[in-house]
Amino acid sequence: MNTAITNKLAERLIKAQGEPVSGQQLADEFGVSRTAIWKHIKELAEQGYGIESIKKKGYYLTSAPDTLDATAIGAGLHTKKLGQTIHYVESCPSTQIIAHQLAQEGTPDGTIVLTEEQTAGRGRLARKWDSAAKKGIWMSVVLRPDVVPQKAPQFTLVAAVAVVRAIEEVTGLKPEIKWPNDILIKGKKSTGILTELQSDADGIQALIIGIGLNVNQSLQDFPEELQDIATSLSIESGKLVNRQELVRALLSHLEIYTDLYIETGFGMLKILWESYSSTIGKTVRARMAKETLTGIAEGITEDGVLQLRTADGKLHGIYSADIEMTN
Ligand code: BT5
């Protein structure tokens, strides 16, 4: 069986959006016999595609398997760059590791790495990221922007705006951003973002933006220590969410906002980011490696630095910290 044709057939039926396509038409398009088409259809059904047929009209798709492979994501993706190269594996230690390696090997700008399950998903400072099989979006994006390394940290904030917009669009939920990299829903963490850099004397070679988005977990799917602080889109919306649609929405928004940032700077994104922020205007505790400061988060600078005013009236620039709300 020619798997390339099976995959193309899946893509063709997904793009037909439930409209029947006749066996003869498919046979003509793919340059094979109708019997061959029928065999590929049987193969797709075995892979988990729901396919029905109506006499004289043809085959149509009733459901696609819940996977994040290149065929499933590519069908209906309307980006120019992001996700045009998709590297998919069913399971891996961390998509960040694969993305770093691909970046070093010269993979194009906009390459994404997707998996169903991470066995050693990571957060900042070597923390663990829980990545249950088929329950979330565990994705790394390789970007090769022509910007100076000082402009790299803002990509985390830009990605946060894109994630919020995608969640809003697909689920109607109203997430908030906790500086710098958490997306919260009703105060619980639904998404974490990790931006890593490959640079040399010539500047940025690649930015690797890792996004971990909890989609269809129930509370029991999280390890006990996370059950009070983590949430998923399905817990919050009361519905299962289509991960494929969400990945496509994420890629579209990421493309729009990263391009906007690269082309026009941080100004407009700063306004958007602040409008989604749960941190600004609140009294917060910022835990840093060497000290902890408590004060009012007044805003972020053009460089994405958090401005914290302590009780003595001093304004501090916070570059990296864990933020806790004090009330
Ligand atoms: C982050 O770190 O929030 C960044 C997470 C990035 C994960 C993505 S998944 C795709 C790509 N591949 C990777 O290996 N990583 C990226 P940080 O701010 O350090 O938060 C980590 C903390 O969040 C942990 O110490 C836990 O307390 C909590 N946590 C772990 N797993 C979680 C989950 N699934 N949902 C909510 N909170 C979680």
**For ligand 1, is residue 97 a contact (CB within 6 Å)?**
no
Dist. CA 129 → ligand 1 center (Å): 4
Give yes or no for a contact between 222 and 228, defined as CB atoms under 8 angstroms apart: no
Q: Is the CB of 231 under 6 A from ligand 1?
A: no
DSSP state of 297: E
Query: Per the structure block, which two tokens stand in for 144?
Result: 């090769």
Q: How far is the CA of 180 from the centre of ligand 1 (A)?
A: 13
Please give the average per-residue pLDDT across 26-49, as a whole number. Answer: 95
Q: pLDDT band at 327, cuts 50/70/90?
A: low
Query: What is the average pLDDT score of the chain?
Result: 94
Question: What pLDDT does 67 receive?
Answer: 93
For ligand 1, atom 7: residue with the closest CA: 212
Of 2.30.30.100, 2.60.120.10, 3.40.50.2300, 3.10.20.90, which CATH number belongs to 283-325? 2.30.30.100
pTM attached to this predicted model = 0.90
Closest residue by Cα to atom 28, ligand 1, is: 129
Domain segments of the chain: what residues? 3-63, 70-275, 283-325
* 127 in contact with ligand 1, CB cutoff 6 A: yes
Could you say which architecture CATH assigns to the domain 3-63?
A: Orthogonal Bundle (1.10)
pLDDT of residue 303: 87
* Yes or no: domain 70-275 corresponds to CATH 3.40.50.300: no
The answer to the question of whether 118 is labelled as a binding residue is yes
d(CA 101, CA 82): 18
Q: Is the pLDDT of residue 212 over 90?
A: yes
Question: CA-CA distance, 296 to 168, in Å (whole number)?
Answer: 28
Cβ partners under 8 Å of residue 153, min gap 6: 180, 195, 303, 304, 319
From the CA of 194, how far away is ligand 1's center (Å)?
8
92-115 pLDDT, tens per residue?
Answer: 999 999 999 999 999 999 999 999
Encode burial over 2-15: b for 16+ CB neighbours within 10 A, e otherwise.
eeebbbbbbbbbbe
| Cis ω before 180 (30° cut-off from 0) | yes
C-alpha 122/C-alpha 128 separation (Å) is: 5
Which atom in ligand 1 lies closest to the alpha carbon of residue 124? 19
Q: For residue 239, what is the DSSP state?
A: S
